[in-house]
Every structure is written in structure tokens, then in C-alpha cells.
Structure 1
Amino acid sequence: MHDSLNDEELLRYSRQILLSQIDIDGQLRLKNSRALIVGLGGLGSPVALYLAAAGVGELHLADFDTVDLTNLQRQIAHDTASIGQSKVDSMRARLLAINPHLALQAHRTALDVDSMAAAVAAVDLVLDCSDNFGTREAVNAACVAAGKPLVSGAAIRLEGQLSVFDPRQPTSPCYHCLYGHGSEAELTCSEAGVVGPLVGLVGSLQALEALKLLAGFGEPLVGRLLLIDALGSRFRELRVKRDPACAVCGPHP
């Protein structure tokens, strides 16, 4: 645990420290925080870039995929030179170029039940930036079991969603409370398409929610689902309640 910020850190994060809601104490909390980012694509790119720049001390990066030419329209952490490279390695180089003080942990293979549980247990907060329902369900189950807050984002076509699930709060729903068993007709961006700035917007909001939770300021999106209509530039918020019979966070998981 770090108990102070050095002179370079005070300067690097000075614009953040100026905020009374963060100040030096909040910045120190960020320095001592660990976050797991599951998925380093369209959502994971702005999430990782902003958390690294903001001074979150340790980032755990999870993605088994490699950079493809079709990714570059929206996955802004990667570039043409990194095509064919592991997304974890591409992201690692980008983040250290922004902030050499970072500690980084790499997960380059798909996480199974045991490795997911270990990865979640090793951090303070998890950001789900994946693109499929199965991974989201697995991440949620691990977060509920470990009592770790989960910042969940999704974007497809011209629509985005964002919420925070915090099992430390007795009234907080989990991902399964909201989405149940998912949809048999679930589409991915490779099938349905997506506009780049939309995933950038959702990912940036995920990073903001993570900073609020880790530094301890503001009102996180717990019990609320933010819906984004990129076509009409409209935001809508729905209240989400915990399902008392939920198969994941209920009394009989």
C-alpha cells in the first residue's frame, strides 16, 4: 500500500486533484486500486486508456484475441502496426507509453470458471467490456461470489447500455437480475455493426463509474440502467430492482 504521492504524480494528476471530490486522498485511493478489464476492444480501449491516465495503480488486462484490421474502426487503443498482435500486448505497450508508473497483469487466454474467480478475487473492481452474453454471465457470477463491484457496458448498432452492479449493497441487482438467460438471437458487432464513437462513449462512461467507485465520490449507476440512443442523441434512465429469486445473487444461487 502506498501512503503518499511523489512530486511527479502530484503534477501528472494535478487537474484531477484540483477537484474537491477527489483531492489528494482520492488520488491516493486510485493509486492503491486494482481493476480487471475483461475485453480490450471497442469498450475496453477507452476504459483502459482513461483508467491508466487517471492513475489507477494496477490494471489487469484480459483478452484472448488478436488485433484485426476490422477492429481499428473503433478499438482506439490499437493501431495498424499491431495487427496480428495479442490485444493484451498491444494494449500493454499503449498504456505504458501513457503512464510508465502502471503495474499491469496479463490474461492472454480465455478465462474459465476457476481462472475467472481468481482474476476477480485479485482486484477491487471489474469492468465488463466483453461482447458476448456468456462472458458477461460468467463475470457477473464471479463478482457476486467475490463481493466485487461490476461496471457493465454494451453497445451495438446505434444503441448503448451501462449499469453498475455492486454486491456489497444489499439492494443492488446483479447482471442476471436484469438480463436473465439472455437472448437466443444475440448478435455481435461483427454481425450487426456498430458506430465507433458510441463504444467510445459507453467505455468512457464505464471508466468514469470505475473512478467514482475506486476514489469514493459521486453517485454510481447502481440500480439504474442508462440507455443511449446514438441516432437521436438521447439518454434515458431506467430503475432496476434486485430479483429476490435471482439464480445468481438470490438466497439459493
Structure 2
Amino acid sequence: MLSDQELLRYSRQVLLAQVDIDGQLRLKQSKALVVGVGGLGSPVALYLAAAGVGELHLADFDTVDLTNLQRQIIHDTDSVGMGKVDSAIRRLQAINPEIKLVAHRLALDEDSLAAVVSAVDVVLDCSDNFTTREAVNAACVAAARPLVSGAAIRLEGQLSVFDTRRDTSPCYHCLYGHGSEAELTCSEAGVIGPLVGLVGSLQALEALKLLAEFGEPLVGRLLLIDALTTRMRELRVKRDSACAVCAQRHG
């Protein structure tokens, strides 16, 4: 049930016919994992917490640096030198003390990643390197958990949802199995702050759609964002029947 306080807190989204009280209850009972509490993870964590996702797992082993503050809006100047997870938890508790926050302050290895992914309902990949993305994808395929994947670098962003519970859905490896230019990090190539905010906000939206069960998730579609011209394109993405990660799951 939702308390009177919760009904008031979430009233503006409960008013939506697509969410309603049932959808808000589903959010309250849901668990989400945010991998990386940086540029993408900041808006993701903020919006999921504000929306009332009942349990948020935050995974990041890094500390806040002054150069992060241009785009990682969950942190502030007083957070410099603090662990990103601890900085984020401090902010999220202030926004919504009614949700549960679970910290993962160390880099997740194969075993710990498998355990954490299996314990949640949706995973949001907000990391900034190909190796982590591949590991997160493999864990999501193995545990049959939907993966909301975002990336942003320079003035370009990408977003997709990989949900191998659906027979037609590709996984991350189907699309990026041989690596990509996204292996560059923001510290090497640069990035504009509002772009990561946009991609992260869209990741949060896709996760809320999956958890509250409304709308059409971005499955089998890749959204490309050009911040320089403020244009978006959508590409259809098919599952690779010979994919080394998800082919066996689909038989």
C-alpha cells in the first residue's frame, strides 16, 4: 500500500493514467542497479529516487574530482575527495528518505556482478568503458534482467534497451561486440554537460517504463543524439543469431 505521504509525494505521476496507483506500487516494490554514479548515473539516480523506486543499488569505486562537477550533478564542491557512492547517497537521502539505498563501493567482479544483477529488476549501465559494459551485459543476459544502456561523449549520445526476456531483443554484444569509439572516456575526448543529463534522463524514463509497466521501451531500437545540431535519429537493431553472449539463451 501507499501511505498518505507517498500519495502526496508522487501525486503528479500517479495522476497519469499510464502509471496510476498500481504503477506507483510497482515502482515502490522494484529494485534497480545503477552502474556508475557519474555523468549518466547522476540524473538516473536522482530521477529514480524521486520517482519512488523502492530500492536503488549504486555501484562505483571512484571518488569525486573537481573535473566531475561540470556534468555529474548529483555531486557538489563539498563532495570532492568523497567516494561517489557516498556522495550520491547523501544527496538521494535528502531527496527521498523513504527509499532504500544500497552501496557497492568496490569494482564488481564477475561473481559479485552476477549476484547483484540477479537481486534487482532492472540494470542501468552508466559506466564509461567497454569492458564494464560487456560484463554488465553478460550478467543481465544470464539473469534475464533488462538493461538500459546509455553513452555520451563529445557532442554525441546513444541510448537503447536490451531485454533478452524477449526473443527478438538483441543484447549489447549483438550491437557492439567488436568494440567501438565509445571506448574513449570523457577525460580523453571531452563531453558537454547537458548531453549526459539528457541521455541519463532518458535512461531513467526507460527504466520507469519497464518497472511500472507502461509505454513502449526502446527495445530493438538505438537512439542516436547529435547535440551539435539538436537532432535525434532512431535505428532498428536486430538480434545476432550467432551472438557469443545471448544466442545460447534464445536457443
Both proteins in one fold, TM over 0.5: yes
What are the ranges of 5 or more consecutive residues in structure 1 without an aligned counterpart? Answer: none
Among candidates 103, 112, 116, match of residue 115 of structure 1: 112
CA distance in 2 between partners of 1:231 and 1:155 (Å) = 13
CA distance in 1 between partners of 2:202 and 2:172 (Å) = 17
- Opposite residue 56 of structure 1, the aligned amino acid is V
- Opposite residue 186 of structure 1, the aligned amino acid is E
Among candidates 219, 224, 227, match of residue 224 of structure 2: 227
Among candidates 43, 58, 61, match of residue 58 of structure 2: 61
Among candidates 230, 246, 249, match of residue 249 of structure 1: 246
Q: How many equivalent residue pairs?
A: 250
Q: Is residue 187 of structure 2 the alignment partner of residue 190 of structure 1?
A: yes
TM-score by length of 2: 0.98
Deviations 1:189-234 (A, max 9, x none): 0000000000000000000000000000000000000000000000
Among candidates 33, 39, 43, match of residue 40 of structure 2: 43
- Opposite residue 34 of structure 1, the aligned amino acid is K
What are the ranges of 5 or more consecutive residues in structure 2 without an aligned counterpart? Answer: none
Deviations 1:77-101 (A, max 9, x none): 0000000000000000000000000
Shift of 1:187: 1.0
Counterpart for residue 15 of structure 1? 12
TM-score by length of 1: 0.97
- Opposite residue 93 of structure 2, the aligned amino acid is L
Counterpart for residue 181 of structure 1? 178
Runs of 4+ in 1 over 4 A off after TM superposition: none
Q: Is residue 214 of structure 2 the alignment partner of residue 217 of structure 1?
A: yes
Counterpart for residue 237 of structure 1? 234
- Opposite residue 65 of structure 2, the aligned amino acid is D
SS in 1 for 2:61: coil
- How has the CA–CA distance of structure 1 residues 95 and 127 changed in structure 2, closer, same or farther, with 3 Å as cutoff? same
CA distance in 2 between partners of 1:171 and 1:162 (Å) = 18
CA distance in 2 between partners of 1:218 and 1:89 (Å) = 33
Counterpart for residue 145 of structure 2? 148
- Opposite residue 190 of structure 2, the aligned amino acid is G
Shift of 1:186: 2.8
Q: Percent identity?
A: 82
